[in-house]
A and B are shown apart, each in its own frame.
Chain A
């Protein structure tokens, strides 16, 4: 067990392309940290550099206080779980799990014991003599985990270990990965493109984009206090709504109507040197059916009326979708997020809005609904730099 420190780590390929740029991350001993971001953001490259499967162009990587830049993967004492599981097809489950121990020339009795123990933890005991080709996806995934844990390495690296599983099993395995990590207390670096996994698994989350770290923090902190437009849009499902707004005399003029700045927002904006045109960000759960909001609370927010495009009832609450007239919020970050979500070419004239309202709401599809939102929850972003103008650490 050990802490892992990435100190200005950069990866540049011979053709000049920079995959990872000046990444600084300090991972504490026993911490579960998630690298998350859209494909091509450099998260896997970062993981491979920690593993030793990719050379580090510049910067320093320290594991347990020692510089390991030049060490071969096998000398770093870390184990890795691959997306494809990378099980050896010619070996049985037992042989697969024993492989790292055999290579380390551990004696037979110890190998036997460690494999049994790992198999027990992962509920693989009855499959030990089977070949990987005869196992289900979930079982293969567990064998891959087993191969990693038998050695009791300094750290686990996991490269999208759950993305080849079907949705239901993924949720189940997510819990067991989390439990296993807690049980073993081994430093774990986990790469995923799925923000739900990032939110639910990690002690801390590192959001990456284009090879650079955007923000590092606890899941809830990233959700509540995104440092920029990219993090705001990436974390959360359904994602944050972005509406262009003009800042005039302490009032935000937008497609949702005029939004007065609350004291909190005004205070934060004062030090932020805000431009006149901003992007207003609102989480879906900060909306509510106006009829269900008590009178004395209404004053703290803004009410607008619009036609409900689509209404999805989730049982516990409802998602109401609106399209408002006016310009869509545009910025490089938002375009990237849309491209990653595959919605870049979806025609969307005007501002589309997702709201999460109470299940008790009587709003109906195709009819007008009166929707209220909390003006104090508004986050404002600079459309050019993407910076969160209302960022605070409290």
Chain B
């Protein structure tokens, strides 16, 4: 059969040079139209995202402290040297990484369990789905305040029951754990939602076939479901990792960054807005930008995550 196919293609007359030229002419016009159609979006993006990025890079190369407005000058990479050799920055970086990795991993496991439950539930599907999404629907700051009160001795039940009246938010490690808990509680539903979309990609027949081939439930999950829904899992992880890396609101409310619990976003805010140091603050925000870019790069290039929106059929 394949033999017949190849001869068939060979016999097909090649396109004449003239037709080729016409084709590329048409392609050119198409490309022009494509660029033209993209132009408005590109302009808007350049205005709202491109310019601020360029401006903050420019600011990060200057000594620019609003407390000393007369002493603005170009200092090259001095600000980067200052930040990268500072122990506060590195502490914040480690706190951020710990919060990101731990919360995302736990969210992945819980989110997968929740997604499976939501996917499988036959009775009261709507209620199960809606109720599990409630945490995600609550404003983070409001939720964070509830957590803070819950963990504050005297007002909170968690402080009494779990911590035995200890003020957990005043100690570094327990405080970070509480922050992680609040993050998990808040965003697991989001993870579950993304994973559930992935579960829908796994054809029923595939699981039936695996059952017939002798796989038990766990083998079906590990050997068939997970590999097939890998693109969805990676996208969910990418979203959540980037999101978790920028953690700010939960920390701001729960600890305010005390006891060395600041994240990178938090000390950037402290330097840029509270400290009015535009140079150092911008340097930090550029460093966060680079870190986020590296995470995205790792996911997309190394793990082969299909960039959201680009469904190139790589499954």
Contact = CB atoms under 8 A, between A and B. Distances in A.
Nearest to B230: A90
B212 interface: yes
Residue with the highest number of chain A CB atoms closer than 10 Å, among B205, B208, B209, B315: B209
Interface of A: 51-53, 72-74, 78-80, 82-84, 86, 88-90, 99-100, 103-104, 133, 138, 147
A72 B211 CA distance: 8
Nearest to A53: B208
B227 A90 contact: yes
B228 interface: yes
Contacts of A104: 214
A147 B208 contact: no
Given A82-B205, A84-B203, A53 B211 contact: yes
Given A82-B208, A90-B227, A100 B203 contact: no
Nearest to B315: A89
B213 A147 contact: yes
B313 to A, nearest CB: 8
A79 B212 contact: yes
Contacts of B213: 74, 79, 99-100, 103, 147
B215 interface: yes
A78 B228 contact: no
Given A74-B212, A84-B203, A104-B214, 20 more contacts: A52-B211, A53-B208, A72-B211, A74-B211, A74-B213, A74-B214, A79-B213, A82-B205, A82-B208, A84-B205, A86-B205, A88-B206, A88-B210, A88-B224, A89-B228, A89-B315, A90-B315, A99-B213, A133-B315, A147-B209
Nearest to B209: A86
Nearest to B212: A80
Residue with the highest number of chain A CB atoms closer than 10 Å, among B208, B211, B212: B212
A52 B216 CA distance: 13
Interface of B: 1, 203, 205-206, 208-216, 219, 223-224, 227-228, 230, 313, 315
B213 to A, nearest CB: 4
A84 B203 CA distance: 9
A72 B219 CA distance: 14
Please list the 10 inter-chain residue pairs (A to B) with the smallest Cβ-Cβ separation, ordered nearest first.
Answer: A86-B209, A100-B213, A86-B205, A90-B227, A74-B214, A103-B214, A80-B212, A73-B211, A84-B205, A82-B205
Contacts of A138: 1
B304 to A, nearest CB: 12
Contacts of B211: 52-53, 72-74
Given A53-B208, A86-B209, A74 B203 contact: no
5 contacts: A53-B212, A74-B216, A79-B213, A99-B213, A138-B1
A73 B313 CA distance: 32
A104 B1 CA distance: 35
A103 B219 contact: yes
Contacts of B209: 80, 82, 86, 88, 147
Contacts of B206: 86, 88
Contacts of A80: 208-209, 212
Contacts of B1: 138
Contact of A51 (B212, B215, B219, B313): B212
Given A80-B209, A82-B205, A90 B215 contact: no
A82 B205 CA distance: 7
Contact of A74 (B215, B223, B224, B227): B215
Residue with the highest number of chain B CB atoms closer than 10 Å, among A86, A89, A104, A138: A86
A86 B227 contact: no
A308 B208 CA distance: 52
A74 B215 CA distance: 7
Contacts of B223: 88, 99
B212 A103 contact: no
Given A82-B205, A88-B206, A103 B215 contact: yes
B80 to A, nearest CB: 43
B176 to A, nearest CB: 37
